[in-house]
């Protein structure tokens, strides 16, 4: 079980939207959790800004997981490797399905290096995992 955190930040300085969830993966480990965070953040973004699907605006996805970006690239180009686990491949397909029609750039940023958005997403992920471990339901926050 992994915690996933994402931050929807705006270049115009508007208040960010925060999200956290847990990801239960049988094979993907941290990479599957990182991919789940990308998918949830992408779905939240498109939900709040459906004009992205019409080609209006650009979206940049920043992640500290090179492994997630690499498997996402392999799935999008059809160059899977034997070590690509089914959980991560399935999550990548969900990401690419959510992203249809949206102009997206994916960017790697060093984790735990003081980047405020990355630090916030990491804290949200830890909170989600800890809540799940003690039995707090992520939808209602009820134990």
In this prediction the pTM is: 0.82
Categorize the per-residue pLDDT at 108 as very low, low, confident or very high, splitting at 50, 70 and 90.
very high
Reference 94, options 80, 66, 75; nearest CA is 75
Host H or E run for residue 61:
strand 59-63
CA 42 vs. chain centroid, Å, equals: 7
Question: In the chain, what are the domain boundaries?
Answer: 2-133
Q: Tell me how many degrees the CA angle 45-49-52 measures, rounded to the nearest 5.
A: 95
Residue 76 · residue 92 · CB < 8 Å = yes
| Tens digit of each residue's pLDDT (9 = 90 or more) over 7-50 | 888 888 888 888 887 765 655 578 888 898 899 899 999 998 88
Which class would CATH give 2-133? alpha beta
In the block, residue with structure tokens 């949200």? 124
């Amino acid at each position: 079980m992994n915690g996933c955190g994402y931050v929807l930040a705006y270049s115009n300085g508007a208040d960010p939207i925060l999200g956290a969830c847990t990801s239960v993966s049988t094979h993907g480990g941290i990479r599957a959790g990182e991919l789940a965070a990308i998918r949830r953040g992408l779905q939240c973004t498109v939900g709040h800004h459906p004009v992205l699907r019409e080609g209006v605006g650009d979206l940049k996805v920043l992640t500290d997981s090179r492994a997630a970006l690499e498997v996402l690239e392999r799935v999008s180009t059809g160059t899977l490797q034997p070590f690509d686990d089914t959980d991560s491949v399935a999550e990548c397909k969900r990401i690419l399905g959510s992203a249809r029609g949206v102009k997206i750039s994916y960017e790697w940023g060093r984790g735990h290096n003081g980047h405020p958005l990355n630090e916030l997403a990491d804290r949200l992920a830890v909170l989600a995992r800890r809540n799940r471990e003690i039995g707090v339901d992520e939808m209602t926050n009820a134990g």
